[in-house]
Structure 1
Amino acid sequence: MAAVKMHADEADIDEELVLRLVGAQFPEYAGLPVKEIPSSGTVNAMYRLGDSLTVRLPRIAGGVSDIATESEWLPRLAPLLPVEIPTQVGLGEPGEGYPWIWSINRWIEGTVPVAGEAGVELAIELAGFVQAFRAIDLADGPAAYRGGPLSTQDEETRSALEQLDGWIDTDNALAAWESGLAAPGPAAPVWLHADLMPSNLLVRGGRLAAVLDFPTSGVGDPACDLIPAWNLLSGASRTAFREALDFDDATWIRGRARALSMALIQLPYYRPTNPGIAANAQYVIDQVLGDFAS
């Protein structure tokens, strides 16, 4: 059965295609069962291959560079981070009617945390991951996706607010967004993951076990990695996250605005096709507006 499509230009991907690609290019894995992994991911389709592997295929042309980026950077980042991250074991080529490169990775056991249910311990461990990323000293790092000035997202954020008029409190959302635009910028760029969505985290026993999806990683505004404060955490866990990181108020305000911008853009686009992303976007908006009003 083909995966549900979220984009007009999305490739046709299903379990049969994955079986053919693997069988043709990686005979050592031929015959292993393939099963789609339910995911709220928007750029890549994920399939489990046997018990210990996953297959990652770009859904759209814009995701093709992600595979190459991870192939280059995952081995360099892994020794510098406190939790497990993906390990590529194979890089596939176009074939069987599929037009792009793709990858085989090690399976990592764990579950995706639920927004609003994360505890203080997980918040502190997540802060430790952010701190470890910030301390990376690799001089040739790329620019992080969304890691530039907030103003680069202004036009798209305002357009999303127009689409959401009558759906959310757009007046307060605009005020929260503009507070981020008005906040002083970072003193210096740092290394960051730049996409710490709940779907990119894995936990075991309530503890942070792994972080996934690194194509966005690079150098940029440290506020980018504060988004879990509003897309995952709440109340005491958000407070613990902030205290563990000890960022200044301007960075916190920019982080809140970045989380809000992402959610505003996601909600109208993914509501028909990706309930997971849409639900998290609504959660973020509710959390940000509550935080902004307090």
Structure 2
Amino acid sequence: MHDDQVHVTTDVVATLIEEQFPQWSGRTVQHLSSTGTVNAVFRIGDDLSARFPLRPTDAAEALAVLEREARASAELARVSRFPVPEPVALGKPGAGYPMPWSVQTWLPGTVALDADPSGSDAFAEDLAAFIAALRDAGTRGRRFSGENRGGVLAHHDDWVAKCFEESEGLLDVPRLRELWSRFRELPRTAADVMSHGDLIPGNVLVAGGRLSGVLDTGGFGPADPALDLVGAWHLLESGPRQVLRQALACDDLEWERGRAWAFEQAMGLVWYYAESNPAMSGMGRRTLDRILEPTK
């Protein structure tokens, strides 16, 4: 998916486990195909999973990121009533893999890309309950870090401009430019709340049309209250989307800012993964289609 991507195999993972965590040696190692774009994920036996960053970076910097993500995941686990992975261990470079890696508990379930819950009001209620629980956790004085999404919409102008350039021939760019020109001006009035930060279908588990778990929790932190509303467009059709809005009591401004954050994310997905990850690119297209629906 990336020009500089690091290749990880089951043999490499098995060797790393044998060398660094002999208590798990002999367990079956299974690579999990997914639309994930940051980590290669392997199942270790029945109750663990290991995540290996795909893009090379300085090992010390990578370790600091993994440690921060582990703290965030543990904090989120304490406030969520829905199952989430919990950090277990951090591995070191070795066996030809150049960076640290992480081990978490394994969660059973089907990702929302494969078990589409978009028409389920009950799922929308569950998703709203998850978001509300995170918001209620309290930031303890922390503020948005400035990284990625969750701060000032207009700070993403350069990225969105690149997306427009790369999307010529793929999308109705003039229409989308007009929409972003309005989104970027939406004012921010509410204080930061705790947020998951990436509620896309690949990070959400579904069972029986209900939310059964949430993955990729290492980004848990303070951000714009509208940030987690991206899930309304990534995951839900119009009717359930309104169920979620009513459950969270979103006013017009917060709702539109959530729509704007979903737009910013979806714009990058369509072109960047058009060839390397068609499912992720298609998800971006679907989200944009929902965003372009008449506002309800």
After TM superposition, the score normalised by the length of structure 2 is 0.92
| Aligned counterpart, 2:128 | 127
Amino acid at match of 2:41: M
- Is 62-71 or 167-176 further displaced after alignment? 62-71
Alpha-carbon displacement from aligned partner over 1:237-270 (angstroms, at most 9, x marks no partner): 1111111111111111111111111111111111
Tell me, in whole angstroms, the C-alpha distance in 2 between the residues paired with 1:116 and 1:177.
28
Quote how far apart the aligned CAs of 1:216 are: 2.3
- Is 15-24 or 153-162 further displaced after alignment? 153-162
Tell me, in whole angstroms, the C-alpha distance in 2 between the residues paired with 1:22 and 1:216.
25
| Aligned counterpart, 2:99 | 100
| Aligned counterpart, 1:3 | none
SS at match of 2:19: helix
Quote how far apart the aligned CAs of 1:200 are: 0.6
Given that 2:73 and 2:220 are in contact with CA atoms closer than 8 Å, whether structure 1 keeps it comes out as no
Identity, % of aligned pairs?
Answer: 35
The structure-2 alpha-carbon separation of the partners of 1:142 and 1:69, relative to structure 1 and needing over 3 Å to count, comes to farther
Given that 1:47 and 1:55 are in contact with CA atoms closer than 8 Å, whether structure 2 keeps it comes out as yes
| Aligned counterpart, 1:76 | 75
The structure-2 alpha-carbon separation of the partners of 1:185 and 1:142, relative to structure 1 and needing over 3 Å to count, comes to closer
Amino acid at match of 1:130: I
- 2:185 matches 1:190: no
Quote how far apart the aligned CAs of 1:135 are: 1.0
Match of 1:218 among 204, 221, 224: 221
Alpha-carbon displacement from aligned partner over 1:96-128 (angstroms, at most 9, x marks no partner): 121111111111111112457340100011011
Alpha-carbon displacement from aligned partner over 1:150-201 (angstroms, at most 9, x marks no partner): 0111111122112212322222222222222122213211111111011111
- Is 169-178 or 76-85 further displaced after alignment? 169-178
> Which ranges of structure 1 fall in alignment gaps of 5 or more residues?
1-5
Tell me, in whole angstroms, the C-alpha distance in 1 between the residues paired with 2:128 and 2:270.
26
| Aligned counterpart, 1:53 | 48
| Aligned counterpart, 2:290 | 287
Quote how far apart the aligned CAs of 1:282 are: 0.8
The structure-2 alpha-carbon separation of the partners of 1:98 and 1:140, relative to structure 1 and needing over 3 Å to count, comes to farther
- Is 50-59 or 107-116 further displaced after alignment? 107-116
Given that 1:112 and 1:201 are in contact with CA atoms closer than 8 Å, whether structure 2 keeps it comes out as yes
Given that 1:118 and 1:232 are in contact with CA atoms closer than 8 Å, whether structure 2 keeps it comes out as no
RMSD: 1.8
- Is 79-88 or 19-28 further displaced after alignment? 79-88
Quote how far apart the aligned CAs of 1:66 are: 4.2
SS at match of 1:95: coil
- 2:15 matches 1:20: yes
Given that 2:119 and 2:239 are in contact with CA atoms closer than 8 Å, whether structure 1 keeps it comes out as no
| Aligned counterpart, 2:249 | 246
Tell me, in whole angstroms, the C-alpha distance in 2 between the residues paired with 1:76 and 1:104.
16
The structure-2 alpha-carbon separation of the partners of 1:250 and 1:43, relative to structure 1 and needing over 3 Å to count, comes to same
> Which ranges of structure 2 fall in alignment gaps of 5 or more residues?
none
Tell me, in whole angstroms, the C-alpha distance in 2 between the residues paired with 1:236 and 1:249.
17
Q: What is the 5 A alignment of 1:250-289?
A: 250-289=253-292
| Aligned counterpart, 1:153 | 156
Give the ranges of 4+ consecutive aligned residues of structure 1 lying more than 4 Å apart after TM superposition: none
Alpha-carbon displacement from aligned partner over 1:26-83 (angstroms, at most 9, x marks no partner): 1111111111111111011101111211111111146935422222222222121121
Tell me, in whole angstroms, the C-alpha distance in 2 between the residues paired with 1:183 and 1:208.
31
Given that 2:154 and 2:185 are in contact with CA atoms closer than 8 Å, whether structure 1 keeps it comes out as no
SS at match of 2:206: strand
Alpha-carbon displacement from aligned partner over 1:124-145 (angstroms, at most 9, x marks no partner): 1101111111111242646354
Count of aligned pairs? 288
Amino acid at match of 2:216: D
